[in-house]
Amino acid sequence: MANLHESLRNLLLRTDEELAQQFYKIVIAKHPDIGRFFEGVDMRYQAAILTIGLESVIQYFVSRVEFQKRYLIRMGHKHYKLGIPRELFPKFSAVLIEVVKDFHKDDWTAELEHQWNEALHLGIETMFLGYVDELPGN
């Protein structure tokens, strides 16, 4: 059984851009309220941003490294400045789990799904710390 860190590593080694493309295709089709934030965005660049974001979320979940927390807060602040409402994050997260599960196929387990959900929840809650008009130290 793969753990969360192995799950992400194995997915990204094989399919980072493909995973991101599939994810954005589905999330934009299912949720036009999310899709509007990606109008005019270079999706190859966005695929790289998603990969970096996922790596940061997983690293922070696994080891609670302070610099990962700061990165997630800053990423949250960027989302706040872009006007992305908090209410969209559960939709985003649910589609991400769906796509990751599909990429895993037979390797997917209830425990792995639980870990992914916990990691994404922590990552999102940490990002929300950046949902302020000005970050301390700026």
Give pLDDT tens digits for 26-85: 999 999 999 999 999 999 899 889 988 998 999 999 999 999 999 999 999 999 999 999
- Whether residue 110 is contained in a domain is answered as yes
- Whether residue 60 is contained in a domain is answered as yes
Domain CATH number, residue 78: 1.10.490.10
- Whether residue 134 is contained in a domain is answered as no
* Tokens matching residue 78: 């960027």
Record the pTM.
Answer: 0.89
- Whether residue 62 is contained in a domain is answered as yes
Question: Which residue range forms the structural domain that includes residue 71?
Answer: 4-128
- Whether residue 138 is contained in a domain is answered as no
Asked if 123 and 54 count as a contact pair (C-beta separation under 8 A), the reply is no
The number of domains in the chain is 1
Percent of the chain at pLDDT > 70 equals 94
Residue 86 DSSP symbol: G
pLDDT score of 101 more than 60: yes
- Whether residue 133 is contained in a domain is answered as no
> Across all residues in the chain, what is the average pLDDT?
91
Q: What is the pLDDT of residue 7?
A: 77
- Helix/strand/coil for 10: helix
Tell me the backbone φ, ψ of residue 3, rounded to 5 degrees. Answer: -90, 180
Nearest-angstrom CA–CA distance, 131 and 119: 19
- Whether residue 71 is contained in a domain is answered as yes
- Whether residue 46 is contained in a domain is answered as yes
